[in-house]
Amino acid sequence: MYGAPGGGPTVYDPMTLPVDDNVNKYTFCVELKGSQWFLQKGKMIAYYGSMEFNGIGHGRLDRLVRTSFHSPLHASDWVVAEGSGKMLLADRAFDVNSYDLDDGNLTIRSGNLLAFQPSLALKQSIVPGFLTLIGTGKFVAASNGPVVFMEPPIRVDPQALVGWADCPSPCHHYDHGYMTGVMGGLRAMTGLGGASGEEHQFEFVGAGTVLLQSSETLMAEQATGAVPQEPGIPGSGGPFTGPSQPGGAPRLPGQLGDLQRRFGL
């Protein structure tokens, strides 16, 4: 037997590893008993027992994918683990935590979601870069620093936002006094004259919970996949159908048209 007598690190084996719980702040253990879990590619660090990892495109998984995976073009980043044994998940030494959803919904930044039970359905959010989980089950998410839960109404820093549950109103909020007029526009664009860097927030109202991480380090964004190119779908780049957008030559960003609008001309 090898072990660390007194004061050494804890040595885990399949018996002492927790079941669907954290091993330490940065590592999460999932027990599979012939069941399946969805996980983001490459987040498994070790496992006991026999497991198989299959890409979502695997034919045998068609039925499972049909019921609990609705992010079609994002599929190549996800795999299904199945088998029996215990599996450790971790992500770049970020804090990981599990959350239980009970017939609820939660929207989360795509890079933060590590794994979820197939009893939850994963869908692309209408908000670009976010994913929504609906149903009952457990999922594992990573964050830079521990996650704090806040009650709306609340305004949060965009970089600190991890996700939200049951609040239907994520919207942008600008401090208008600071952002309008010529001076405001200049300040916002150049950062000169005392831009605090906090003029822009996300605002949530209504009943629900907002999840924040305790740092403003963003996790690398996972592509959520392109949305269908149809009119009326945010982020699709689809053709504009309304008359409100005056046609004409496509403007380069930063061209004068933008400036004019910013300065309220």
Partner 1 sequence: MFRLQGSKVLAVDMTGDAVKAKNGSMVAYDGQMAFKKLSGGGEGLRGMVTRRLTGEQMTVMEVRGQGTCWFADRASEINLVSLQGDKLFVESSNLLATDAGLRTGTTFTGLRGASQGNGLFTTTVEGHGQAAIMSDGPAVVLRVSAQYPLTVDPGAYIAHQGNLRQSFQSGVTFRTLLGEGGGEAFQIRFEGDGLVYVQPSERNTIAGDV
Supply the minimum distance, in Å, between the C-beta of residue 223 and partner 1: 13
Residue 11 or 189 having the CB closest to partner 1? 11
- 199/188 Cα distance (integer angstroms): 8
Residue 24 or 136 having the CB closest to partner 1? 24
Nearest to 263 by CA among 200, 182, 178: 182
- 151/27 Cα distance (integer angstroms): 27
Size of the chain in residues: 265
Supply the minimum distance, in Å, between the C-beta of residue 64 and partner 1: 14
Handedness of CA 90, 96, 97, 99 (dihedral sign): negative
Residue 52 or 157 having the CB closest to partner 1? 52
- 189/193 Cα distance (integer angstroms): 11
Rg of the chain in Å (alpha carbons): 22
Nearest to 204 by CA among 168, 159, 176, 160: 168
Supply the minimum distance, in Å, between the C-beta of residue 92 and partner 1: 5
Residue 10 or 196 having the CB closest to partner 1? 10
Residue 76 or 255 having the CB closest to partner 1? 76
8-state DSSP, 183: H
Residue 4 or 252 having the CB closest to partner 1? 4
**Burial class for 178, CB neighbours closer than 10 Å (0-12, 13-18, 19+):** middle
Supply the minimum distance, in Å, between the C-beta of residue 213 and partner 1: 16
In 175-259 the beta strands, taken as DSSP E runs, fall at: 200-204, 209-213
Supply the minimum distance, in Å, between the C-beta of residue 73 and partner 1: 13
- 130/108 Cα distance (integer angstroms): 5
Which positions lie near partner 1, rule CB under 8 A?
Answer: 1-5, 8-14, 23-27, 40-48, 51-58, 76, 79, 88, 90-93, 96
Supply the minimum distance, in Å, between the C-beta of residue 247 and partner 1: 38
